Amino acid sequence: MIKVAIYGEILDKKHHQAIQLFFEQMQVFKIECVIFEKYKEIISPIISFKEGIKSFSSKSDLLKFDVDYLISIGGDGTMLNSFRLIFDTQIPVFGINTGRLGFLSNVSTDKVNWALKELIDGRFTDRVRSVLEINYKDQEEKIYAVNEVAIHKQDTSSMLIIHAKLNDVELTSYWADGVLISTPTGSTAYSLSCGGPIVMPGSENFLVTPIAPHNLAIRPLVYRDDKILELEVESRSDKFLLAYDSNSITLSSDQKVSIKKAPFYIHLLKFEDYNYLNMIRNKLLWGADKRNKKY
């Protein structure tokens, strides 16, 4: 019997029927599930599911259930948050998209039944995605990012000066609002809106994209993901913001930040109709030009 963990954060009214069907179909297919505790509290008054269904509240709690897969219900932000429960566990994950674009969470609500059948029949591939590991002085625990790490100004309108080294070799000093360090997965997120290129998953690269640089010669840089990037920040407020995926903390200017590839991957399940180039073309409207007959 397949056992899955369900993670979610909110449930919009327009998706009630689809998510109700999802839980009903899991019972039909005899898929056992456990639900993230806070999500269970949200959906219990709305969605009917098997009586006595168990819940979990943390990574260590989840691991006790020995689940085969994690299913995220929500948008890409919800899916990014779900990754914190499975870092370094090799538990595969896929997302049912109740958000907007859905680059990561890309199973639409009208394909829920089909996706569960594909899961049971094993008609999927396991696509690994690289993860960023972030380290800094006086750090209490390891933190990771699947999309990007952002160094950003805080408490002042003045730009930052960010001194960067790559494998102990001086790279440059960015005079900017900040910089983004992205994985190929994150190249279609914040970095894209700052003029960064799209980097295809599996290319074994990371990407540095400046945020509003005050120097026309500064451009995004793609580098091999086996290198360590070190960043030292100068700020008039002596503070800066370190954001990673959907989280952020404030650091002082004497806290150097080092970013490298984590020693594990996130495992994303992709079903047989999935094609990365098709997704990019459809989500970003590539070729949406009246001269192209397809459009």
- Token pair of 243, please? 């954001």
- Say yes or no: 55 and 150 in one domain: no
- Say yes or no: 137 and 96 in one domain: no
Q: Identify the domain boundary among 122, 145, 163.
A: 122
Q: How many domains does the chain have?
A: 2
- Residue 291 located in a structural domain: no
- Say yes or no: 91 and 160 in one domain: no
Sign of the dihedral defined by the CA atoms of residues 222, 107, 116, 86, in that order: positive
Classify residue 280 by burial, with Cβ atoms within 10 Å: 0-12, 13-18, 19+.
middle
Domain hosting residue 113, numbered range: 3-122
Name the DSSP class of 68: S
- Say yes or no: 139 and 254 in one domain: yes
**DSSP assignments along 120-163, one per residue:** HHT-EEEEEEEEEEEEETT--S-EEESSEEEEE--SSSSPEEEE
Q: What is the pLDDT of residue 156?
A: 76
What residues act catalytically?
A: 76
pLDDT band at 295 (very low <50, low <70, confident <90, very high): low
- Residue 41 located in a structural domain: yes
- Residue 288 located in a structural domain: no
Q: Identify the domain boundary among 88, 122, 156.
A: 122
Q: Per this entry, what is the length of the chain?
A: 295
**pLDDT, tens digit, for every residue of 136-184?**
988 988 999 999 999 999 877 889 999 999 999 999 999 999 999 999 9
Mean pLDDT of the chain: 92
- Residue 162 located in a structural domain: yes
CATH of the domain at 205: 2.60.200.30
Q: What is the pLDDT of residue 55?
A: 94
**Residue 82 vs residues 70, 114, 126, 138, 201: alpha-carbon distances, Å:** 8, 22, 17, 26, 20
- Residue 281 located in a structural domain: no
- Residue 270 located in a structural domain: no
Would you state the torsion angle of the CA atoms of residues 180, 183, 186, 187, taken in this order, to the nearest 10 degrees? 80
SS3 108: strand
Maximum alpha-carbon separation in the chain = 62
**pLDDT, tens digit, for every residue of 187-229?**
999 999 999 999 999 999 999 999 999 988 899 999 999 999 9
Q: Identify the domain boundary among 122, 141, 166.
A: 122
Q: What is the pLDDT of residue 168?
A: 95
- Say yes or no: 207 and 245 in one domain: yes
CATH of the domain at 28: 3.40.50.10330
Q: What is the pLDDT of residue 155?
A: 78
- Say yes or no: 155 and 234 in one domain: yes
**pLDDT, tens digit, for every residue of 76-135?**
999 999 999 999 999 999 999 988 878 888 788 888 889 999 999 989 999 999 999 999
- Say yes or no: 138 and 258 in one domain: yes
- Say yes or no: 52 and 159 in one domain: no
- Residue 278 located in a structural domain: no
- Say yes or no: 207 and 178 in one domain: yes
